[in-house]
């Protein structure tokens, strides 16, 4: 049940974001590049600000957001069949 709720939230967020982007694109086509750069810059900035803020709220310490991002990427690369044990693991034959 929790998987479906998380999936529903992600789909709703994607559809809302797509609607906002399409609205910004079609309301004034002359400033398309300016709007696209604004969307990209604001999304990257909000990612790093929110990550730093929530790391502080959860762990009560400030972290370097770039080091934390590299750590997240390295940890996600290690999640393969060879490095994890899963009781529902189904390896190809």
Q: What is the pLDDT of residue 1?
A: 46
Give the mean pLDDT of the chain: 75
Which letter, b or e, does each residue of 72-92 get, where b requires 16 or more Cβ atoms within 10 Å of its Cβ? eeeeeeeeeeeeeeeeeeeee
Q: What is the pLDDT of residue 29?
A: 67
Q: What is the pLDDT of residue 91?
A: 61
Q: Which residues of the chain have pLDDT under 70?
A: 1-10, 29, 79-93
Residue 61 DSSP symbol? S
Determine contact, residues 48/67, Cβ cutoff 8 Å.
Answer: no
């Amino acid at each position: 049940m929790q998987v479906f709720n998380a999936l529903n939230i992600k789909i709703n967020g994607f559809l809302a974001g797509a609607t906002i982007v399409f609205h910004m694109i079609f309301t004034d086509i002359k400033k398309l590049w300016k709007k696209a750069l604004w969307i990209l810059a604001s999304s990257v900035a909000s990612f790093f600000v929110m990550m730093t803020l929530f790391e502080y709220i959860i762990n009560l310490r400030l972290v370097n957001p770039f080091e934390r991002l590299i750590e997240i990427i390295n940890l996600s690369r290690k999640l393969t069949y060879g490095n994890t044990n899963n009781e529902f693991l189904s390896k190809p034959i």
